[in-house]
Amino acid sequence: MTGLIAGISSLISGACYAELAGRIPTAGSTYAYAYIAMGELPAVIAAACLTLEYLVSCAAVARSWGDKVVEWVEKDLPGDHELLVSYLDPGYNLNPCAFVVSAASTILLLLGVQESKRITNFFTSTKVLLVVFMGAGGLFLFKGSNFEPILPAKFGVSGIFRGATSSFFGFIGMPIRSVRESIARL
């Protein structure tokens, strides 16, 4: 049920962007759309807000990746790695792995469009293959009893919408759990 709500929300959001792009005869982004619709000052404000949104979300995702590396070294890597963990997670809300992820992404973007496109295509293809694999696996492991009850009383309507929110962020590529954890650490 939550996936259905999130899917419908994503579809409506995409339709709004498509309609807006169809009505404005220029290629562009939020800045171009706001500039044509409302003028230069609102466009600059919209671009600044979008830049801030990307900054915060990228920082949260980079921090999440850094924390996952530390967790992997602590729990899954065989042997004692206290010294390595102390370098990877020195405390003081610093995370060197998050810096490395951010720096590598920036360098990739600075290398040019072709290199960024190749990396993006590789990861997109990998994600599509994983989704197909999980979908096929889900067909083999399907149990109708998992749909009883369709609206669990334990979580109620607010729980369903909370789950739909998390699923919606999943559709747009934002790991909400990681974002919540990273924001909680700040």
The whole model's pTM is what?
Answer: 0.53
d(CA 176, CA 2): 15
pLDDT over threshold 60, residue 177: no
Mean pLDDT (whole number) for 117-133: 90
Distance in angstroms (rounded) separating the CA atoms of residues 117 and 121: 6
Sequence spans of domains, the chain: 115-143
Query: What would the mean pLDDT of 27-45 be, rounded to a whole number?
Result: 83
Please determine, for residue 29, whether its predicted confidence score (pLDDT) is greater than 80.
Answer: no
Question: Which of the pair, 130 or 143, is modelled with greater confidence?
Answer: 130
Q: What is the pLDDT of residue 186?
A: 47
C-alpha distances in Å from residue 37, one per residue of 3, 40, 41, 52: 33, 9, 11, 21
pLDDT bucket at 184, cuts 50 / 70 / 90: low
Q: How confident is the model at residue 24 (pLDDT cuts 50, 70, 90)?
A: confident
pLDDT band at 130 (very low <50, low <70, confident <90, very high): very high
Residue 132 has pLDDT above 90, yes or no: yes
Q: Which residue has the higher pLDDT, 7 or 50?
A: 50
Q: Mean pLDDT over residues 159-166, rounded?
A: 76
